[in-house]
Amino acid sequence: MIQNLQGGNMDFSIEWENIYKKNQHLSIWPWSDLVSYVSRYVNSKSSRLKVLELGCGAGANIPYFLSLKSEYTSVEGSESIVNLLHEKFPQYQESIHVGDFTNFEFKKNYYDLVIDRGSLTCNTTSAIQRCLNNVYEAMKPGSQFIGIDWFSTKHSDFDKGSVVEDDIFTKMNIESGHLSNLGKIHFSDKQHLLDLFSKFDIQVLEHKTTKNELSNSYTIASWNLVAKKM
Ligand SMILES: C[S@@+](CC[C@H](N)C(=O)[O-])C[C@H]1O[C@@H](n2cnc3c(N)ncnc32)[C@H](O)[C@@H]1O
């Protein structure tokens, strides 16, 4: 187990450290839904936006926040990918941290925007809920949380793998398909998201499906959401 910055054990799946060491999942272009949601729902022009990204991975979304001249912070579990990012973006040596974002001491009442693109979904329900409670405290009143690509129970991989710790929404050991060999995968239905974000005012909740119409072999289904701290 890797230690987090507070000295506790990490909830983070070690699979991601191994994935990056094998040079896989090195996405470097900002995710289009993330760019669309921030452009559409966030007033990024009024002040220098303080942004927290949960799990920045290989830093795909960083150039976008650089272009907005925002103050960017991230907590990411993979030490090797964070070392690479510190080399690539030396200005973020102090603000991209190695740690478990489900167990991290964030600055309180500080952020204007928290984003999560495919990172909380690598965790169990209890870890996600703990993280959302902490993140809520870290957000300024009126600030927004944008969640992109939260896997849906309508995803064709939901029926695969084994349940983690009696948590019916979290699977592991998915051996084939879009989500294979990625460690823990969390899936949500609408009620589960309403429960997880019950403290927030959910402003947008959209469900997306992409179905392979040629071979009918997969359906990728996910949620995007915008939730405001009241
Ligand atoms: C699918 S990648 C997404 C990366 C990035 N957000 C993007 O959009 O390209 C998920 C990332 O979340 C990180 N992660 C998952 N659970 C974590 C946790 N509990 N603490 C810190 N990082 C975590 C993984 O290491 C991985 O880099």
The 3-state secondary structure of 99-166, one letter per residue: CCHHHCCCCCCCEEEEEEECCHHHCCHHHHHHHHHHHHHHEEEEEEEEEEEEEECCCCCCCCCEEECC
Nearest ligand 1 atom to the CA of 99 is 21
What does pTM read for this prediction? 0.94
Is 132 inside any structural domain? yes
* pLDDT of 5 strictly over 80: no
Is 4 inside any structural domain? no
Q: Which residues have C-beta within 8 Å of that of residue 97, sequence separation ≥ 6?
A: 5, 73, 74, 75, 76, 82, 104
Is 163 inside any structural domain? yes
Task: Please tell me the distance between residue 118's alpha carbon and the centre of ligand 1 in angstroms.
Answer: 7
Q: Which domain holds residue 21?
A: 15-228
The reply to whether ligand 1 has any atom less than 6 angstroms from the CB of 78 is: yes
Please write the tens of the pLDDT for every residue from 55-93.
Answer: 999 999 999 999 999 999 999 999 999 999 999 999 999
> Which residues lie across from 188 on neighbouring strands?
152
pLDDT at residue 45, rounded to an integer? 74
CATH number of 163's domain: 3.40.50.150
pLDDT at residue 15, rounded to an integer? 86
Is 1 inside any structural domain? no
Please write the tens of the pLDDT for every residue from 154-194.
Answer: 999 999 999 999 999 999 999 999 999 899 999 999 999 99
The reply to whether ligand 1 has any atom less than 6 angstroms from the CB of 151 is: no
Nearest ligand 1 atom to the CA of 17 is 25
pLDDT at residue 10, rounded to an integer? 60
Task: Please tell me the distance between residue 117's alpha carbon and the centre of ligand 1 in angstroms.
Answer: 8
Please write the tens of the pLDDT for every residue from 115-132.
Answer: 999 999 999 999 999 999
Distance in angstroms (rounded) separating the CA atoms of residues 119 and 76: 9
The count of domains in the chain is 1
Q: What is the mean pLDDT of the chain?
A: 93
* pLDDT of 6 strictly over 50: no
The reply to whether ligand 1 has any atom less than 6 angstroms from the CB of 123 is: yes
Is 175 inside any structural domain? yes
Is 223 inside any structural domain? yes
Task: Please tell me the distance between residue 54's alpha carbon and the centre of ligand 1 in angstroms.
Answer: 7
* pLDDT of 139 strictly over 50: yes
Nearest ligand 1 atom to the CA of 127 is 19
For the record, the structure tokens of 12 come out as 């983070």
Best of 20, 122, 174, 180 for a ligand 1 pocket test (most atoms within 8 Å of beta carbon): 122
pLDDT-based confidence at residue 2 (cuts at 50, 70, 90): very low
Is 102 inside any structural domain? yes
Task: Please tell me the distance between residue 213's alpha carbon and the centre of ligand 1 in angstroms.
Answer: 30
The reply to whether ligand 1 has any atom less than 6 angstroms from the CB of 103 is: no
pLDDT at residue 11, rounded to an integer? 67
pLDDT-based confidence at residue 14 (cuts at 50, 70, 90): confident
Is 9 inside any structural domain? no
Query: Average pLDDT of 10-29?
Result: 84
Percentage of residues in the chain having pLDDT higher than 70: 95
